[in-house]
Amino acid sequence: MPFSSKPGPAGRPIVLIGPMAVGKSAIGQQLAHQLGVPFVDTDAVIVAGHGSISDIFAGRGERAFREIEARTVAEVVEAADNTVSVISLGGGAVLDSGTQQVIRRCTVVYLECDTQTVAGRIARNSGRPLLAGDAMGRWTAMFATRKPVYERLADITLDVRQGSVSELGGRLEAALREYAAAQQEVEL
The binding site for ATP consists of 21-26, 128
- Cβ-contact 28, 86 below 8 angstroms: yes
* Residues ≥6 apart with Cβ < 8 Å to 128: 20, 21, 54, 122, 135
Binding residues: 21-26, 43, 66, 91, 128, 146
Closest Cα partner for 156 from 86, 93, 99, 95? Answer: 86
Binding residues for Mg(2+): 25
Please count the other Cβ atoms lying within 10 Å of the Cβ belonging to residue 152: 11
Which residues are paired to 159 by β-bridges? 112
Closest Cα partner for 172 from 20, 24, 19? Answer: 24
Q: What secondary structure does DSSP assign to 60-117, as a single string? A: HHHHHHHHHHHHHHHHHHHHHTTS--EEE--TTGGGSHHHHHHGGGSEEEEEE--HHH
Angle between helix axes 42-50 and 53-80 (nearest 10 degrees) is 120
